[in-house]
Amino acid sequence: MMMVSIGIGVVVAVALITVVSVLTGGKVTAGGSPHANSALVGTRAADFTLPGLHGGTVSAPYAHHHPTVLLFFASWCPPCKGEVPRVSAYLRAHPPAGVSVVGVDSNDQVAAATGFVARAGFPDPVAVDANGTMASGDFGFATLPETVFVSASGVVRGVHFGAISNVALARGIAALTH
């Protein structure tokens, strides 16, 4: 009897999520392709200049006509703890020629972020979005991690919600160079 109640609860929850998504103009999709449905796709990405995790400032490379991958993460984020070291290793093994990669540590403590980035081996630059203003305000993200693919002209070409696989990252990078 309890299993039937749980099953009914799951069905009701999925139905409610679908109805709310449709009523608010969203699309319900399965999976997490780098070109997942997002209101950001096709819009101009907000330019930014933020403090760099290791000093100086970090500005939006696409503001200077460089295709860019923005990887939003934080040291306190459980999925980020698996994603960032794996993505770091991938980027060291497969440097994306002609595409800038910027980490955006969001809503985090600088000391925690510095240690996390060092342990993960994430390449510079890493921007510090201390209050989450860029992630939640400019890009509208409610959770982390998130990945945004931005063309050289500053237009968002894809958004990947959640931890990104190496395959999805490679596809998103390739799409920026074609």
What does the pLDDT read at residue 178? Answer: 82
What does the pLDDT read at residue 77? Answer: 97
SS3 104: strand
Q: Are residues 111 and 66 in the same domain?
A: yes
> pLDDT for 4-42, tens place per residue?
444 444 333 333 333 333 333 333 333 344 445 689 999
Q: Are residues 2 and 63 in the same domain?
A: no
Q: Are residues 15 and 61 in the same domain?
A: no
What does the pLDDT read at residue 33? Answer: 43
What does the pLDDT read at residue 75? Answer: 98
Tokens of 160: 């990947």
Q: Are residues 138 and 160 in the same domain?
A: yes
Q: Are residues 23 and 98 in the same domain?
A: no
Q: Are residues 15 and 56 in the same domain?
A: no
- CA 117 vs CA 29, 57, 69, 80, 147: distances in Å: 31, 17, 17, 11, 16
CA distance 91 to 95: 5
SS3 141: coil
Q: Are residues 21 and 45 in the same domain?
A: no
Q: Are residues 19 and 49 in the same domain?
A: no
Q: Are residues 61 and 3 in the same domain?
A: no
CA distance 94 to 91: 5
Q: Are residues 11 and 51 in the same domain?
A: no
> pLDDT for 113-164, tens place per residue?
999 999 999 999 999 999 999 999 999 999 999 999 999 999 999 999 999 9
> pLDDT for 54-112, tens place per residue?
999 999 999 999 999 999 999 999 999 999 999 999 999 999 999 999 999 999 999 99
Q: Are residues 25 and 49 in the same domain?
A: no
What is the number of structural domains in the chain?
A: 2
What does the pLDDT read at residue 98? Answer: 94
CATH number of the domain encompassing residue 49 = 3.40.30.10
Structural domain for 76, as ranges: 31-177
pTM equals 0.80
Q: Are residues 15 and 90 in the same domain?
A: no
What does the pLDDT read at residue 5? Answer: 44
Tokens of 129: 């979005």
Contact 153, 62 (CB under 8 A): yes
